[in-house]
């Protein structure tokens, strides 16, 4: 399934994206609220109380309510998560271009929930912004409460996968001596377009991760090159931190970021940044100034 949240910012409704639902090349969105009024959103309660099974049942009903997808705004496919955790330097070549050693333990940081935005919403550079670029990443969404996971069972806590763009102000990141502030500006966490359920992703460690700026390819990597694979990440985090349904974890970015190039390719108003992960969709964001 491809879970989406659609509608105006702050008023998104839960839906399921259905390719060719209204005919060839005419996608539709299952109107989840229209069929099950008690499913209010894709939030902690939804994932913790069998929400994905409910959606599977709704898709099988003969009287499905379908909304045409054309022209509909998509928001982040998950409602405000309790935590957005990210892996830093999780690709060896990116660690090198970042100017530091390859880590021997996972580097974990967080982004503010208020940084979340839709996959086609503009990236807004505040007046105080310095050198800003994006990072295409595979993200996963937690489906159940998880603590002290074991490597052989860790993948069972994942509800699904999506594209995350870890937009970063490099100057603020460097000046603060830690990463939270420079990665948490409003609109600096585009998520989506879809949350693809775990069972529909054959191998999350074999996906192409790409980013392009104004049509020029910046990143073209694969999740096969992650230093710490997903079970390692989950085991490390849950050894001390409880993960809850709806939490988002970004797994790191491959090499090629704009700020590491000579000359740097930094985001500026008028730019178009596209980020994608194979099988999970493509984001497209216009860059604007506050």
CATH of the domain at 267: 3.90.850.10
- How many folded domains does the chain comprise? 2
Q: Which helix (H) or strand (E) holds 95?
A: helix 92-97
Q: CA-to-CA distance for 171 and 4, rounded, in angstroms?
A: 34
Same domain? For 136 and 220 the reply is yes
Q: How confident is the prediction along the chain (290 residues), in pLDDT tens digits per residue?
A: 999 999 999 999 999 999 999 999 999 999 999 999 999 999 999 999 999 999 999 999 998 999 999 999 999 999 999 999 999 999 988 888 877 788 999 999 999 999 999 999 999 999 889 999 999 999 999 999 999 999 999 999 999 999 999 999 999 998 888 899 999 999 999 999 999 999 999 999 999 999 999 999 999 999 999 999 999 999 999 999 999 999 999 999 999 999 999 999 999 999 999 999 999 999 999 999 98
157-207 pLDDT tens trace? 999 999 999 999 999 998 888 899 999 999 999 999 999 999 999 999 999
Same domain? For 65 and 91 the reply is no
Same domain? For 102 and 185 the reply is yes
Enclosing domain of residue 135: 84-289
Which of 75, 100, 119 is the C-terminal boundary of a domain? 75
Same domain? For 274 and 212 the reply is yes
Is residue 98 classed as helix, strand or coil in its secondary structure?
A: coil
Is residue 49 classed as helix, strand or coil in its secondary structure?
A: coil
Same domain? For 62 and 199 the reply is no
List the one residue out of 96, 76, 105 whose CA is nearest residue 14. Answer: 76
Q: CA-to-CA distance for 133 and 112, rounded, in angstroms?
A: 17
Which of 75, 110, 139 is the C-terminal boundary of a domain? 75
Same domain? For 145 and 284 the reply is yes
Beta-carbon-side half-sphere exposure of residue 179 (alpha carbons within 13 Å): 15
Same domain? For 117 and 177 the reply is yes
Same domain? For 119 and 70 the reply is no
List the one residue out of 234, 208, 40 whose CA is nearest residue 143. Answer: 234
Distances from the Cα of 52 to the Cαs of 33, 55, 62, 144, 158, in angstroms? Answer: 14, 5, 18, 12, 12
Which of 23, 41, 75 is the C-terminal boundary of a domain? 75
């Amino acid at each position: 399934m491809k879970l989406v949240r659609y509608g105006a910012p702050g008023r998104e409704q839960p839906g399921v994206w259905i390719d060719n639902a209204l005919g060839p090349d005419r996608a539709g969105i299952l109107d989840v609220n229209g069929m099950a009024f008690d499913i209010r959103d894709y939030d902690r309660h939804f994932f913790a109380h069998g929400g994905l099974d409910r959606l599977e049942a709704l898709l099988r009903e003969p009287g499905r309510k379908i909304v045409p997808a054309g022209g509909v705004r998509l928001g982040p496919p998950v409602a405000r998560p309790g935590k957005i955790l990210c892996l830093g330097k999780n690709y060896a070549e990116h660690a090198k271009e970042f100017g530091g050693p390859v880590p021997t333990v996972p580097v974990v940081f967080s982004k503010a929930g208020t940084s979340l935005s839709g996959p086609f919403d503009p990236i807004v550079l505040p007046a105080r912004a310095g050198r800003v670029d994006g990072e295409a990443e595979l993200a996963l969404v937690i489906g159940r409460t998880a603590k002290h996971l074991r490597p052989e069972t860790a993948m069972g806590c994942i509800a699904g996968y999506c594209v995350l763009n870890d937009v970063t102000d490099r100057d603020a990141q460097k000046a603060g001596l830690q990463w939270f502030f420079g990665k948490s500006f409003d609109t600096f966490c585009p998520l989506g377009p879809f949350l693809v359920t775990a069972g529909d992703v054959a191998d999350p460690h074999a996906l192409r991760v790409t980013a392009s700026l104004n049509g020029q390819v910046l990143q073209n990597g694969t999740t096969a090159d992650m230093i710490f694979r997903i079970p390692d990440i989950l085991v490390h985090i849950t050894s001390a931190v409880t993960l809850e349904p709806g939490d988002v974890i970004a797994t790191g970015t491959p090499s090629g970021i704009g700020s590491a190039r000579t000359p740097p390719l930094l985001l500026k108003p008028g730019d178009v940044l596209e980020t994608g992960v194979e099988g999970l969709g493509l984001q497209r964001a216009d860059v604007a100034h506050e």
